[in-house]
Amino acid sequence: MIAPARPKPLVYVVDVDRSGYAFADDPRSGVTTRFFDGAAAALRCRADTPPALWLINQELPEMSGTDLLELLGRRSRCPVGIVTRDYDPQAEIAARTAGATFYLAKPVSDMFLPRPVAA
């Protein structure tokens, strides 16, 4: 008997610029990716399946990524990565203080993605 396929982990990406997330277009990445164009869209999301990971750009139009992280922290229990264009040690400290699990500069590597759970 063949076991049913496990669902791919869900990754939410909040960023107006979809470049830098090559894994999103790669079927071998092992994840399903959902993009949000800004903080408001992400906050409106009511998913039946909670994400395994949030990736939030620090430079969002409506608010900073760390501000969104603080709002999401009240209702999300999964890891959250803050993504930036360029690495800045002070910004990393601020992101981690706000609750970020990790801090990344684009392009985002698939090594930070959750993996499907083995049967």
Q: What's the CATH number where 57 sits?
A: 3.40.50.2300
Structural domain count of the chain: 1
Per-residue pLDDT tens over the stretch 47-97: 677 899 999 999 999 999 999 998 887 667 889 999 999 999 999 999 999
Would you say residue 7 lies in a domain?
no
* Beta-sheet pairing, 53-57 with 10-14: parallel
The DSSP call for residue 27 is: G
Per-residue pLDDT tens over the stretch 83-119: 999 999 999 999 999 999 999 999 888 777 876 544 4
Q: Token digits for 113?
A: 């993605």
Q: Helix or strand or coil: residue 95?
A: helix
Separation between Cα atoms, residue 83 and residue 105, nearest integer Å: 6
Would you say residue 2 lies in a domain?
no
Q: Helix or strand or coil: residue 105?
A: strand
Separation between Cα atoms, residue 112 and residue 108, nearest integer Å: 8
Q: Please, are residues 42 and 72 in contact by the beta-carbon 8 Å criterion?
A: yes
Range of the domain at 74: 16-109
CA distance between the termini of the chain: 13
Confidence of residue 46 (pLDDT cuts 50, 70, 90): confident
Would you say residue 114 lies in a domain?
no
List the one residue out of 106, 16, 7, 13 whose CA is nearest residue 53: 13
